[in-house]
Chain A
Amino acid sequence: MLDQIRQQIDRVKGMGATYVDCRWYPFEEQNYLLMWNGNLKVTAASRESGMGIRVLYKGAWGFSASSDMGDIAAVFDKALDNARTAAERVTFPVRLAEKDILQASFTSPSRVNPFEVPLNEKVAFLKAMDDKLNQKGVFQRSADLSFMRKQIVFVDSEGSEIEKNITEVFSSLEVNGLDAQGMSHERKYKLNRQGDTRGWESINPALFGENAERIVRELNEMLAAEDCPKEDRSVILLPGIMYLQTHETIGHALELDRILGYELAYAGGSFVTLDDFGRLRYGSGKLTARADATLPNSPGSFGYDDDGVPAQDNVLIDKGILVGAITGRQMVEEANVKAKRQIFDGSGGANRATSFYRVPIERMTNINIDPGSDGSLDDIIANTERGIVMDGDRSWSIGSNREQFHFGTEIGWLVDDGKITKVVKNATYKGDTVKFWNSLSAVGDESTWQVQLVNNCGKGQPNQVMQLGHGIPVCRFDNTRIGE
C-alpha cells in the first residue's frame, strides 16, 4: 500500500499540486461500555479503516476520503478536483511553514492493551463501581469505559513518512440525586492518571472506589444544602472545573485559525488579535500557560501532528503576557504576513484530524498551567477571606469571541475568614475572560496540580471530536460574580 500511496502522491504532484499528503489508517478501533443504574446499557465496539488525501493546488486545499481501498487513484483525483474548485476563490494563497523531513514513528506509552483485556473483566469493573455508587441519596448512577486504538501512516510529497500507534483509555463515574424540591444534582469523577502510561493499567479500581465513595458523600451533602448565594466572592477552582476554564478561555481563544477568522461561521472567533502577541496582559503575573504535547500520559501528546511536525512544549502566556498560540504549518505563515512581523517561528505542531475522513485543523494539545507558589489547597483556603471553592463541570457557555463565559459547577463550598463554612448547590460563576484571568490571585503548588483528560472537544466543519488534556493547579480568582 505504501508504494501505491507514494506513486499517487507523485502522480498528483505531476498534475500541478504543490503539496500532497495522505493519512492512511490501516485500522482504528473503539470500544465503549456504559453501565447505568446496574444495566449494561451499551456494549459497543467499532472498527474502521481508510485514507484521507489533502491536496494543495494554486494556494487552495482540496480533501477527499474513502474507506474503499480498491481504487485509491480515484480518491487522490477527487481531492485534486476539490482543490481546483477551491483555487477559484483564493484571497491568501496557502503556504506551509518549513519543517524537517522525517522518517519517524511514535507509540503512545501503554503497558496493557485495553483491546486485549477480556470483556468480562471490563464488565466486572463497571459492576463493582456500580455497586459502590448504589447508595442512599443516589437516584441515577453511571460508570463508563471507553477505549480507542489507531494506527496512522502519514506520507507527504516533501518526503516525510511517519507511523503512529495511539492507544487511549477514558473512564468516568457519575451520580445524580434529587433534592427536597425534586431538582436534579450531579457529581462526577473522571479518570485521573497516576502513572506515565495510557493503557488499561490507568484504570486503578482502588482509586476509582475511593472516588466513588467521595462523590456519593458529596452528592448527599449537596442535596441537603442551600442554593449558592448571588454575590461577588473569590472563586477557588479545583481541577474538575479549572480544566474547563483553561480549555474554554485560554485553549480555544488561542487557536490560531480562530484568531485568523477561519471559524467565524461556526465555533466563533477570538478576542485576541495579532497585535496582542508579546503585548496583551492576558492574566496576572501568576499565570504561565503552555501547550505541552510532550506530557507522556495524556491524549494531547501524539508524537507528530498531522502535518508531520514533531510535538512541542510551547509557552502561550508567560507570567501574564500573551506570547504564543496553538498553531500548524499553514496558519503561522499567514499570521506572520498579516501581522507584518515574525510572531511565530515555524509550526507549533498542533494540526490534528479526528479520523481519516476529516481534515487536520489546529487543535489543543495539553493546555497546561504551571504550578505556582501559593501552597496547597488548604493554604489557599486559609488565605481567603470571602470565597467559594468550586468543582465539577455541569454547564458551560462561552461568548463567540471567547470574551465572556458562564460556568455551572457541580458543588460549591463557601469560605469565610479562611475556613470552609458550608456546602452550596447550583454553584455558578461568570465573567469577562481577560478581566477574570487578571484577577488570578493564587496558584496552587505541585500538590494541587493534576492532569485532566478531555475526550469530547468539538470543533470544525465537518465537525471533529478531539482528545486532549489539561495539567492544572488549583487557582483562585477574586471579585467574581457567583450564583447567577
Chain B
Amino acid sequence: MKERILQTLRDLRAYALEKGYEISLFYHEEDSYLMRFANSAISLNTNEHLIRLDITAYSGRKRASFELITDLAKLDEMKRGIDTAAEMVEHAMPLTYQPTVAAYADSFADESGYDQALAQLSNAERLDYFNTVAGDLETDQLKLSGIFSSGTNVLAAITTRSEHTQYFKTSDAQVTAVLAHEAEKWEIIAEQSAYRKPDLEPAALNRELSFLLDRFQQDPRQQLPTGSYDIVFGPAAIADMVHFMNWIGFSGGSMKRGFSFVAEDKLGQKVFSDKVTLVDDPRLLDTYPFKRDFMGMERNPFAFFDQGVFKGFAWFQDDADEFGAQPSGHTVMHKSLHLHPGEVKAASLEELVRMPRQKDVLYIPFLHYMNIVNPSKGVITGSSRFGALLLKADGSVVVPFNVRLTQSLLDIFGDKVAWLSQDTVACNQSQSYGARNPVAYVVPRFMQVDGLEISHSNPSF
C-alpha cells in the first residue's frame, strides 16, 4: 500500500512538471473507528475510510490550494484537482513575502508509531474493553458513557522541487469512560491514550472509576465558598492548559500578531516557575510524533521553557516566511509536548488523597470548555468537571459542586507552582473535526498550584 501511495504521488508530480506547475501534494488517509456509549448502551458505532489530497499551487509569490476527498483509483480526478489549483493560483493575489516550497533532500518514512494490532482492533474487542471498564459499576441510576476511538493515519508528501517523498504512518486509540448519575447530574471520568495495543488497560480505568465512585457516593457534598485555594490539577486539566499555552504562549506568528502573553524580549528570561520545563519532544511515541516536519526538517527535542526560562518560539514555515524568522521544525499538524515531571511521588489519585497535608487542597481533574479571556495577559477561564474533590487537611474528602477558575497562565505556571508529580501520563488531546490527527501530550499526573482564585461556585451538581 505504501508503495502504491508514493507511486501515485510521483505520478502526480510528473503530471504537474509536464504541465509546468509548481505544486506540493499532501496525502492524508484515515481509517477511523468510533464506538460511542451513552446511557450504558452503544449509542453509535461508526467507521469512515477517507482519502484526502491537498494540493497547493505556487506561482511566484502567489499561492492557492485545492483539497479533494478521493480514492487511489481516481488518478484522473486527482490530476483535475491539480489543474484546478494551478488555475486558482493564477487569480490569487501575490503575498508580500515569498512562500517557501519544500524541497526534500531525501526520502523519509516513519512507521515507528504504527501497531497493526491496535489499528485492526475488532468491534468485539472494543466492546469487550468497555465491558471490562464498566465491570459491575453500572446501576439503574449510574450510566456508562464514553468513546472508544481508534484508527490508522497515513500522511505522505511530495513537491515539484524534488523527487523525494515523506511518509508517516501511525495507529492511535483514545478512550474516555464516564459514569454519570442520572438523577443527581454528576459525572466521573477515566481516560486512556494508546499508540500500541498493550497500552490498553481497561482494568486500570475500572479501578479509577471505582475509587472516584466511592468518594462521590460516600463523602459529603458542598458548595465551595469563592476565594483563594491551593489546587492540584489532574492530567487532563494540565494538558488542556498546555494546549492553550501552545496557542497563545510560544507561537512566533501569534507573538508577532500581538496574540501572545510572551513577548519577544522575554527570550532568555524567567517567565514561569523554575519547576516548569516544557519541551517539544518527537522522541516520545506516546505523542504520535513527527520526527520530521512537512518542510523536511529533522525534528529534535526543542525546549520552550527550561526551568521556567523562555527558550524560543515555534516558527511555522509560513510565519517564518512572513516575519523573516528561521523556521524551527514546527511545520507539523501537532507538536509532541512534554511537561517534565517533578519530585513528588503520587502515581494515582488514591495516593494523592492519602498524602499528608497542612491545608485543604482542591483537586480539579478536568477543566470544561476552556477559553481565552485575554490573550495578551494569558487569561483563561474554565469550569471544573468530572470528579473534583476537596482534600481536607484532616484526611477527609468533600465532593464540591463545580467551580469556575479565571486565571492567567502566567500565574498558574508561575511561582505559585508548589510541586509536580514524578509520574507522568500521556493525555490524549485528539479532536475529530475534519481529518484524523491523533495528538497527545505527556504531562505530570498532578501539579499543585497555591493561591488560585475560584470566581464562581455552583450551588448544586
> What is A's interface to B at a CB cutoff of 8 Å?
35, 38-50, 60-68, 70, 78, 81-83, 85-86, 88-92, 118-120, 123, 127, 139-140, 176, 178, 182-184, 260-266, 268-269, 271, 357, 359, 394-401, 403-404, 406, 408, 426, 428, 430, 432, 458, 461-465, 484
Report B-chain residues with C-beta under 8 Å of the C-beta of A91: 39-41, 143
Q: Nearest Cβ distance between residue A305 and chain B, in whole angstroms?
A: 17
Instruction: Please state if A262 and B263 are interface contacts (CB–CB under 8 Å).
Output: no
Instruction: Please state if A426 and B374 are interface contacts (CB–CB under 8 Å).
Output: yes
Report B-chain residues with C-beta under 8 Å of the C-beta of A63: 44-47
Report B-chain residues with C-beta under 8 Å of the C-beta of A65: 46-48, 50
Instruction: Please name 5 pairs of A and B residues whose Cβ atoms are closer than 8 Å in the assembled complex, sorted by A.
Output: A88-B127, A89-B40, A357-B50, A400-B383, A430-B404
Q: How distant is the Cα of A268 from the Cα of B386 in the complex, in angstroms?
A: 10
Q: How big is the B interface, by class?
A: 35 or more
Instruction: Please state if B381 and A395 are interface contacts (CB–CB under 8 Å).
Output: yes
Residue of B51, B95, B371 touching A39 (CB-CB under 8 A): B95
Report A-chain residues with C-beta under 8 Å of the C-beta of B103: none
Residue of B42, B369, B376 touching A184 (CB-CB under 8 A): B376
Q: How distant is the Cα of A263 from the Cα of B382 in the complex, in angstroms?
A: 18
Closest to A140 in B: B257
Instruction: Please state if A119 and B45 are interface contacts (CB–CB under 8 Å).
Output: no
Instruction: Please state if A357 and B48 are interface contacts (CB–CB under 8 Å).
Output: yes
Q: How distant is the Cα of A43 from the Cα of B61 in the complex, in angstroms?
A: 13
Report B-chain residues with C-beta under 8 Å of the C-beta of A123: 91-93
Instruction: Please state if A85 and B124 are interface contacts (CB–CB under 8 Å).
Output: yes
Q: Choose, from B29-37, B111-119, B163-171, B274-282, the stretch at the interface.
A: B29-37
Task: Tell whether B70 is near chain A: CB-to-CB under 8 Å.
Answer: yes
Q: How distant is the Cα of A334 from the Cα of B48 in the complex, in angstroms?
A: 28
Instruction: Please state if A82 and B47 are interface contacts (CB–CB under 8 Å).
Output: yes
Instruction: Please state if B84 and A261 are interface contacts (CB–CB under 8 Å).
Output: no
Q: How distant is the Cα of A432 from the Cα of B64 in the complex, in angstroms?
A: 46
Q: Nearest Cβ distance between residue B103 and chain A, in whole angstroms?
A: 22
Q: How distant is the Cα of A335 from the Cα of B88 in the complex, in angstroms?
A: 50
Instruction: Please state if A265 and B37 are interface contacts (CB–CB under 8 Å).
Output: yes
Most buried by B among A62, A89, A140: A89
Residue of B149, B371, B375, B404 touching A461 (CB-CB under 8 A): B149
Report B-chain residues with C-beta under 8 Å of the C-beta of A60: 41-42, 45
**Which residues of chain B from 84 to 101 have any CB-CB distance to chain A below 8 Å in the complex?**
84, 88-89, 91-93, 95-97
Q: Classify the interface of chain B: helix, strand, loop or mixed.
A: strand
Report A-chain residues with C-beta under 8 Å of the C-beta of B180: 261, 264, 269
Task: Tell whether B71 is near chain A: CB-to-CB under 8 Å.
Answer: yes
> What is B's interface to A at a CB cutoff of 8 Å?
32, 34-51, 62-71, 73, 81, 84, 88-89, 91-93, 95-97, 123-124, 126-127, 130-131, 143, 145-147, 149, 176-178, 180, 182, 185, 187, 189, 257-259, 263, 318, 322, 368-377, 381-383, 385, 402, 404, 406, 431-433, 455-456, 458-459, 461
Instruction: Please state if B376 and A61 are interface contacts (CB–CB under 8 Å).
Output: no
Q: How distant is the Cα of A400 from the Cα of B46 in the complex, in angstroms?
A: 25
Instruction: Please state if B383 and A182 are interface contacts (CB–CB under 8 Å).
Output: no
Q: Nearest Cβ distance between residue B417 and chain A, in whole angstroms?
A: 23
Closest to B386 in A: A400
Instruction: Please state if B385 and A458 are interface contacts (CB–CB under 8 Å).
Output: no
Q: How distant is the Cα of A214 from the Cα of B45 in the complex, in angstroms?
A: 49
Instruction: Please state if B42 and A85 are interface contacts (CB–CB under 8 Å).
Output: yes
Report B-chain residues with C-beta under 8 Å of the C-beta of A408: 371, 373-374
Q: How distant is the Cα of A260 from the Cα of B81 in the complex, in angstroms?
A: 44
Q: Nearest Cβ distance between residue B262 and chain A, in whole angstroms?
A: 12
Instruction: Please state if B383 and A49 are interface contacts (CB–CB under 8 Å).
Output: no
Report A-chain residues with C-beta under 8 Å of the C-beta of B68: 46-48
Q: Nearest Cβ distance between residue A323 and chain B, in whole angstroms?
A: 22
| Further 9 A-B residue pairs, CB within 8 A, beyond A46-B66, A89-B127 | A43-B65, A49-B69, A60-B45, A65-B50, A91-B143, A182-B376, A264-B187, A397-B382, A406-B373
Closest 10 CB pairs of A and B: A48-B69, A85-B123, A462-B432, A86-B42, A119-B91, A265-B145, A43-B64, A82-B45, A63-B46, A46-B67
Q: How distant is the Cα of A294 from the Cα of B156 in the complex, in angstroms?
A: 45
Report A-chain residues with C-beta under 8 Å of the C-beta of B149: 461-462
Closest to A42 in B: B65
Instruction: Please state if B456 and A118 are interface contacts (CB–CB under 8 Å).
Output: no
Given known contacts A139-B258, A400-B385, is B91 in contact with A120 (CB within 8 Å)? yes
Report B-chain residues with C-beta under 8 Å of the C-beta of A176: 257-259
Instruction: Please state if A261 and B143 are interface contacts (CB–CB under 8 Å).
Output: yes
Report A-chain residues with C-beta under 8 Å of the C-beta of B62: 40
Report A-chain residues with C-beta under 8 Å of the C-beta of B433: 458, 463-465
